[in-house]
Amino acid sequence: MITVLRIGHRPERDKRITTHVALVARAFGADRILIDTRDPDLERNFESTCERWGGKVTIKSGTKHREAMKSFDGQIVHLTMYGEELHKAIATLDPAKDTMIVVGAEKVPREVYELSTINVSVGNQPHSEVAALAIFLYTFHGQKMPEFVDGKMKIVPDPRGKTVMELETPDD
């Protein structure tokens, strides 16, 4: 079970970046998304994506990061450009354990570093928490992404154009 915890979310400023974080979490195999600041709009948008495209990924905003981290029974990975090199870090993690991945915005409180099992970097250069989360999950899962079989539509990979299958469901 993989939880992604997004901290430092400011609904006015971060709606799009946090939406990208949530969609990446889902597409790269997380099961649960927690966001510190309450943002019902963002929850609704994410849930509507899940309805269309499938998957049982849950989202909940308004979760205090300290409590969530302290009460988490498993390993906690904090993604930061200051952390341990990705592959070295992953070698120390147990893929069978419940894992929480903490993704910060601009300023991350010191205690987040301390409450984490390990701080991990995807390159020690400034880039993007969206990219860091994608690369971490993709690498942690052996370069595999989950399939979603219960969506209302499905894309057939196409090198030249768009091929979308609409899957009928009884209540459509």
Residues at the interface with a copy of itself (CB under 8 A):
16-17, 20, 23-24, 26-28, 49, 53, 81-85, 88-89, 113, 118-128, 130-131, 133-135, 138-139, 143, 145, 148, 154-164
Q: Which is nearer to a copy of itself, 46 or 72 (CB)?
A: 46
Q: Which is nearer to a copy of itself, 40 or 123 (CB)?
A: 123
The CB-of-22 to a copy of itself minimum distance in angstroms stands at 9
The CB-of-79 to a copy of itself minimum distance in angstroms stands at 12
The CB-of-49 to a copy of itself minimum distance in angstroms stands at 6
Distances (CA, A) of 139 to 1, 60, 120: 16, 25, 12
The CB-of-162 to a copy of itself minimum distance in angstroms stands at 4
Q: Which is nearer to a copy of itself, 117 or 170 (CB)?
A: 117
Q: Which is nearer to a copy of itself, 48 or 70 (CB)?
A: 48
